[in-house]
Amino acid sequence: MPTSSNYFHLHLVSDSTGETLITVARAVAAQYANVTAVEHVYPLVRSQKQLDRVLDEIEESPGIVLFTLLEKDLVSRLEGKCKEINIPSLSIIGPVMQLFEAYLGAATTGRVGAQHVLNAEYFQRIDALNYTMIHDDGQHVEGLEEADVVLVGVSRTSKTPTSIYLANRGIRTANVPLVPGIPLPHQLETLKKPLVVSLHATPERLIQVRQNRLLTMGDRDNETYIDKQAVADEVAFARRLSAKFNWVLLDVTRRSIEETAAAIMKLYADRQRARPLE
């Protein structure tokens, strides 16, 4: 790639959904702030005909090729084409599979998309998603005790997206907004089973996020929503409630949704491990 370029083509070829490839590729690409990856994602590539179309696009826009293919003929053809046009290619799961085989002393089954089978874990995620959608934003508080995790926090602390992310990991998550002047649902005050996590951020960060929200909605008249003192009072109100009910405090000021969810999953796992000792 010419050193003057500020972008490059990134081809992601998968015989399944491509989620693994996308996650790995973006994690690495994020480390290069001065260059942008132009993603070409090819999911469900399972035949020579499908691969032919992929190879045509790769040849038209050369770049880095990452793949998760299990069919050896497809792998051989893809690698051969990349070598022919002199571009790099790498199997993301190949080295890991070799490590497993060496350690376990057994060959892989070669099942395409094996991680997406309709097993108990899959249906647990579906159940969690259904529960989370029903119990979003303080709805149906009578069912809060059935949650694994309950998120609380003032407006724009990313309660809903974090809840959905956790649900995708099979964790039944409800969320309840904390609003000064509005009484808490009594169910929230007496929870025994769920882990209650209070999400908070600095007033400055909340004001920034809320201003962007108002601009998006075209609402320029809601001054209280972004008033510095009012927002600071909201943050203090949420902290007092957290201390009163002994909720876990989690600062999300500089956390992405993924980082917030990872911290909550660790808290939840630690709590589950500790429970038999109680």
CA–CA gap between residue 141 and residue 171 (Å, rounded):
17
pLDDT digits (tens, 9 = 90+) for 137-174: 999 999 999 999 999 999 999 999 999 999 999 999 99
DSSP letters spanning 145-176: GG-SEEEEESTTS-HHHHHHHHHTTT--EEEE
pLDDT digits (tens, 9 = 90+) for 171-181: 999 999 999 99
What is the pLDDT at residue 121? 80
The residue-averaged pLDDT of 12-26 equals 92
The pLDDT confidence band at residue 114, using thresholds 50, 70 and 90, is low
Measured over all CA atoms, what is the biggest interatomic distance in the chain, rounded to whole angstroms?
69
The DSSP output letter for 93 is S
The pLDDT confidence band at residue 278, using thresholds 50, 70 and 90, is very low
Token pair listed for 41: 């994602």
Are 14 and 92 contacting, i.e. CB atoms less than 8 angstroms apart? no
pLDDT digits (tens, 9 = 90+) for 227-275: 999 999 999 999 999 999 999 999 999 999 999 999 999 999 999 888 7
CA–CA gap between residue 159 and residue 143 (Å, rounded):
17
